[in-house]
Every structure is written in C-alpha cells, then in structure tokens.
Amino acid sequence: DTFDKLGISFDNLSRTTSKLHYELSREFFLKIMEKGYIYKKRVSRPYCERCKRFLPDRYVRGICPECGAKDQRGDQCEVCGKQLEPHELKEAYCAICKEKPVMKETEHWFFKLSEFSEKLEQWILKNKHWPPNAKNFSLGWIKKGLEDRAITRDLDWGVPVPLEEAKGKVLYVWFDAPIGYISATKEWAIKIKKPEEWKKYWKDKGCKIVHFIGKDNIPFHAIIWPAMLMAHGGYNLPWQISSNEYLNLEGRKMSTSRGWVIWLHDILAKFPADYLRYYLIAINPSKHDADFSLAEFKEKVNNELISNFGNFVYRVLSFIKSRFDGKIPEPRDEGEVKAIEEKVSKIVGEVENHLENFRFSQALYAGMSLASLGNEYFQQNEPWKNEEKAKDVLFICANITRTLAIVMLPFIPFSATRLLEMLNIKSENLSWDSAKKFSMAPGHEISEAKMLFRKISDEAIKSFSERYLKAKEVAKKEITIEDFNKLDLRVGKIIEVKDHENADNLYVLKIDLGALGNKQVVAGLKRKYSKAELLGKKVVVIANLKAAKIRGVKSECMLLAATDAKGSPVLLIPEEEVPSGSKIK
C-alpha cells in the first residue's frame, strides 16, 4: 500500500527463498566449482559458547582492523568500506548475547576471487561511463589485492550447499543474493507466459544491465558479482553501477534502533507523494552524502515545485479558460512558435540525456527549466495587454504545459497525470518524442484550470517534526572506573586546519598537546565551523586513541564534542585558559 501511494510498482516482486532461486544458486555453485574456481579449506571462525553457534557476518561485531572504527559488523566496515571476514574483527563480541567468542575450526568453501584481479581491472577501466565513486572504489579495492572469499556459512537458514559433505552449511548471502537478479527475471518470464524471455536480459549481448545501489554495496556489485559471472560464463556482465552515497536525516545518520528515521507511511499520510518524490530526486546523493531536512523539504516544494511549475500551469490554463473559452488559440507568428518549439525540444533532449546517464537530479531540474522558460516568456509578453499577441503566447505556453506534463511524468506522476487531465489529453496516446513538438492544435479544448498544489505551511512541518522526529536515547553499557582511567584526556590547541582531500565535510587538524607534541586528527566539523573559527581554539581530545585512517588520512586522536538540536557538533572547550597538554581528571 505504501509503495502504491508513492507511485512504485513491481513487474515481479521476488524473494531469494523461492524454489527456482535455490535451484539456480546451486547450479551456479556447482558450475563455478566444476571450472576450478571454488575450493575447500579448514579455517578458524568465531564461535559463541553461550549461544552454541558459529558467528557469521552480522552475528559478530567489533573493531575494524583497517580503520579502528568500533561496533562494526563482520562483513563490512561502514566507516572505511573495507570488506571483512568475521574472524578479522578486533575485540569481537556476539551480537546476540554480547559474549566474547572463541576461535573454533570449521570447514568452508572459498571462491577464487584473487584469480580475477586482472580481468576485473581491465573490465572496469573499459567502463568509462561508470560514476567516479563506483570506479574509484573498485579500482582501489583491486589495487590493495583481491583475496579469495569464503562463500559458505554455518547457519540453519539460507540456500544449502549442494554437496553431501557440506551438511549444515549454506551459501553466503552475498553469493546467492545477486543470483536472485537472474532468478527474479526467470520468474517474471514464467509469469508473463514467455519462459525464455529472461534470456534477452542475461544472454543477449545488446542488453545493458544496470544496478542501482548504495555505496556500501559497490564491492559486491562491481567486484564479487562480476567475478562470479566471469567464472560461470554465458551471462552478461553489469553495464552500469549507479551508486548513491548516503542520505542522512537533519544532519545525523539515520537509525531505526534510535528512532531517528522518517517512515514512508508517516510522511505520506501528511504530504502528497509527489512532494516527497520531487524533494528526494532533487537532493539525490549521487556524488556525496545528502541531508533530508524538513525545512528544506518545505522550501523546495514551495519555492520550486509550486512557485515555478504550479503557478505557471495555473496562470496559463486559467487565462485560456477566461479569455479563449477554454480553447487553444490559433497563433499568428509562426516564426516565434518555431523558435520557442526548438528551445523546448532542446531542453527535452537534455532531460533525456540526463535520464539515460542516471543523473536524476539534473534531469529533474532540466525539466523544471521548461516551467522557468514558460514563466519568463509569459511575463515578458504580457498577454493581458494585447489579444492578438495573447494568441501566440497562449498557444506556445499551452504546448509548454503539455511538454511539462510528459517530461515530469517520471518524477511527479500523480501531478503530471492530473495536468494531462486538465489539458484533456489521454496519457496512453503520448510518446516521449512527442514532447519535443507543439502538437496540441488550435481549437483543442482544455477541461479545467485548477491549482495543482497547495503550499506546505510552517505549522505542518512543525507538527510533523514534533510527532515523528524524536530520537530514542539508548544507554550504553556501563564501564568501570578502571576502563575510564585508560583514557588520556588532554587539552589541545588547534594550530593548523586543512581540507580533507577525499571528504566534503571533514577537516584535517594539527593539535598541539604540549609535552606530547603535535598530533593529527580528522574531524567532521566543516558544516559547523570555518577554518578561522577553529584555528587557535583550545579543545578537549582523547590523546591515547589508537591511530586510524579515515577516508585515507591518518587520525591520531579524537576531539570531544556534543551534538546540538540540529545534529551539528559543538566542541567542548575549557572555561578558562590552561596550557596545551593539560590533563583532564
């Protein structure tokens, strides 16, 4: 129901628990093994003696061995992006009972990922159309050296390993899950009663396969999955990896456990789906992390969607209703009509190009520029002053509204469909290419002129925020005074501030810690503090924190800061002047 309200539908909603998927996953495993790319090995893995089970992937948490980030899962570090095996975590603990696991021998099957380094690198370099984050991350991963991956787990759920000697073991989820793309296509083909149709997607060399993913899934889709396809043979490789960065909420990382989220059913109960669709596409985090802000949501809807798009449509259609009895007038100046039509056609081409290259926010704003063009043309030509000129203006503007409706259908389908209804045009008779032409003929009668949208009020945002944006405070596990005394808290002075080369919101700071010398720290302060505000400031740091790399830059200590109501950092500073390096007790 929520997906329907948002305008999302599925040709086939599949699950990796289907019989067809199990069969295909087993076939993949056996074929890759037959070709010599899967082998068996005895290994030590974390085992929880309290839970009486091995701890695969997300059942174990601990410190990332690469960057030192705490509370990371056993399959991937969310901070530095490194792919992990559960046994690699430091200070590991069971995610179920919190007990420290022991290492215990078990047997697993491994995929020879290391043998595909050269093939993968050549293939990725050839895909020049890939977004930088997908390409750079993948090539960086290969450069570090690909390691063979365990593709089986000791679990009681999942696709059973199709070998007699592997009873009690299942395929690793990131081995069988991408195979689900193929099994889902097969299900769809059976559903439409064309069981061989799936081959057009996975076997036809002219087909382009696109994966839409978050950046944390880049290695699975750009490295492991393509290597599996290469190992198996006979299937198309992905053509494009359209990978987004993260979407935060009001300056903070979303968290379901802390209640710091906005649920679709809640926001759709309060605001029209097209408002949400417009805003999410506008801030699409394709190049860097984006922030969902209710205040910005209101501003973009009111000042862009309504003031530009909505007002243009209403003023044009209401003018036609009142001055031309609801009928499209006959234009007089064919040269002017042709000139504006060419501009419109060019903009539609830009929208098309952006969509084909998965630049969705750019496509949205290119489409919105049609409304800007129409508003500017309408205002400059003042049709209310001259009835003959008004015929040209309203013919042109009416056709721009038709083009707008077609072009904006992928973005705001409910509003675009209502606009087509007001224009008395049946959507099934439209094609994308027809948007480039002024084909709404003189004499065509529109049905009505109504406001498409209503502005979002400050009160609506306030009441929604107060009701739904309340993070739950989760108390952390108690520690002893001995644990606390392990921390070396010091006063330090910021003596240098530089931009981080690989991150938009990070600074690289040099901290003077007196007798301890200078230490470097990477801190997410850029959205709150300027360089000038930080330089010379006395701060509180944990001076004995183990060094870690954050986005490729070494960080040797940690600044202490609180978080304000907006989720922004607020540095802790000494009340009075104290020497750099002073201990905090």
Tokens 């695969």, located at residue: 56
Query: Is residue 472 scored above 60 in pLDDT?
Result: no
Q: Coil, strand, or helix at residue 488?
A: coil
Q: Which residue segments constitute the domains of the chain, with CATH numbers given?
A: 2-244 (3.40.50.620), 275-436 (1.10.730.10), 481-571 (2.40.50.140)
Tokens 């002017």, located at residue: 336
**Cβ pair 500, 522 in contact under 8 A:** yes
**Cβ pair 328, 395 in contact under 8 A:** yes
CA distance 100 to 115: 35
How large is the C-alpha radius of gyration of the chain? Answer: 29
Other CB atoms within a 10 A radius of the CB of residue 39 amount to 12
Query: Is residue 474 scored above 60 in pLDDT?
Result: no
**Cβ pair 314, 447 in contact under 8 A:** no
Q: What is the DSSP string of 88-145?
A: G-EEEEETTT-PPPEEEEEEEEEE-GGGGHHHHHHHHHH-TTS-HHHHHHHHHHHHH-
List pLDDT tens digits, range 436-451.
999 999 999 999 999 9
Rounded average pLDDT over 102-130 = 95
CA distance 377 to 371: 10
What pLDDT does 473 receive?
53
What pLDDT does 53 receive?
87
What pLDDT does 475 receive?
54
Query: Is residue 566 scored above 70 in pLDDT?
Result: no
CA atoms within 13 A on the CB side of 329: 25
List pLDDT tens digits, range 263-318.
999 999 999 999 999 999 999 998 888 999 999 999 999 999 999 999 999 999 99
**Cβ pair 36, 60 in contact under 8 A:** no
What pLDDT does 568 receive?
74
Q: What is the DSSP string of 42-90?
A: EEEEEEETTTTEE--GGGEEEE-TTT--SSEESSB-TTT--B--GGG-E
Handedness of CA 295, 298, 303, 305 (dihedral sign): positive
Indicate the pLDDT class of residue 482, thresholds 50, 70 and 90. confident
Query: Is residue 139 scored above 90 in pLDDT?
Result: yes
In 3D space, the residue among 331, 317, 497 whose CA is nearest the CA of residue 423 turns out to be: 317
Q: What is the DSSP code (8-state) at residue 291?
A: E
What tokens were used for 53?
A: 């089970």
CA distance 69 to 53: 25
In Å, the largest CA–CA distance within the chain is 88
What pLDDT does 174 receive?
87
Q: What value does the mean pLDDT of the chain take?
A: 91
CA distance 389 to 191: 56
What pLDDT does 75 receive?
82
CA distance 280 to 260: 18
What pLDDT does 73 receive?
86
List pLDDT tens digits, range 395-431.
999 999 999 999 999 999 999 999 999 999 988 778 9
What pLDDT does 238 receive?
96
Give the dihedral of Cα atoms 355, 359, 362, 366; nearest 10 deg: -10
List pLDDT tens digits, range 487-532.
899 999 999 999 988 777 789 999 999 999 999 999 888 878 888 8
What pLDDT does 565 receive?
57
Rounded average pLDDT over 369-398 = 95
Lowest mean pLDDT among 345-354, 468-477, 527-536: 468-477
CA distance 412 to 313: 14
What pLDDT does 567 receive?
63
CA distance 332 to 339: 13
Query: Is residue 262 scored above 90 in pLDDT?
Result: yes
Give the dihedral of Cα atoms 135, 139, 140, 142; nearest 10 deg: 150
